[in-house]
Structure 1
Amino acid sequence: MIEASCHCGAVRMEIAAAPEAVTQCGCSICRRLGTLWAYYPPASVRLVPPTGATEIYSWGEKKLEFHRCRICGNATHWAAVDKTVNRMGVNARLMPPEIVKAAQLLEIDGPG
């Protein structure tokens, strides 16, 4: 298990395993957030606290909810609005640096 947390520590995540790869997405939101995404099934990520510590931003077709810490503003994760989607993104920049360095970096161009 690995741990990730926002800058102030109000949002923490316990994650089943280190990512094999992290994705640098070039879409309009990810580029501006400066995130590196590690993808997991939601069941393998435990949010501490489970609710209330993040604010949600969603736009357009509202398929994804981007979460950020209410206190320090760090982008923490995204979750699909459709709960049958078995994938979420965790901001790997909140993980220990050695975990991120060991992962393969994938770069993709996203829309917008």
Structure 2
Amino acid sequence: MGGPPVTKRLLFTRLDGAGAVRRTDFNDRAWKPALVAAGVIPAPKPGERHQAAREHGMHALRHFYASVLLDAGENIKALSHYLGHNDPGFTLRVYTHLMPSSDARARKAVDGLSGDTDPASDL
């Protein structure tokens, strides 16, 4: 978010290298076979496609990315920008369940106000 824009190569490209990969191609040819190999989803029957399931689609990578950033302490406004959302409130509604508990941080902040840096001393 700071500094000049930088152009990077696409992470997922078409087989011929001429542009972004289509989501359905990636799901059918790379992502779903990898999930089968990992035992996450069953293999399709011969002649059939993998079952459609959003929770196991390429979209799962987006949720993984968001969860990693939230766990690292990234704020919702920045995450919203990274994900291309116009409204940080939307990002918060979608990803709240991925946010780590802030109980320990809250206790530490309040303890710091009183100069108590060892909460165990209260025992």
TM-score range, shorter chain: under 0.3
Give the structure with the larger helix fraction. Answer: 2
Greater strand fraction, Structure 1 or Structure 2 = 1
Question: Structure 2-normalised TM-score?
Answer: 0.24
TM-score, normalized by length of structure 1?
Answer: 0.25
Using CA pairs under 8 Å that are at least 6 residues apart, name the structure with larger relative contact order, 1 or 2.
1
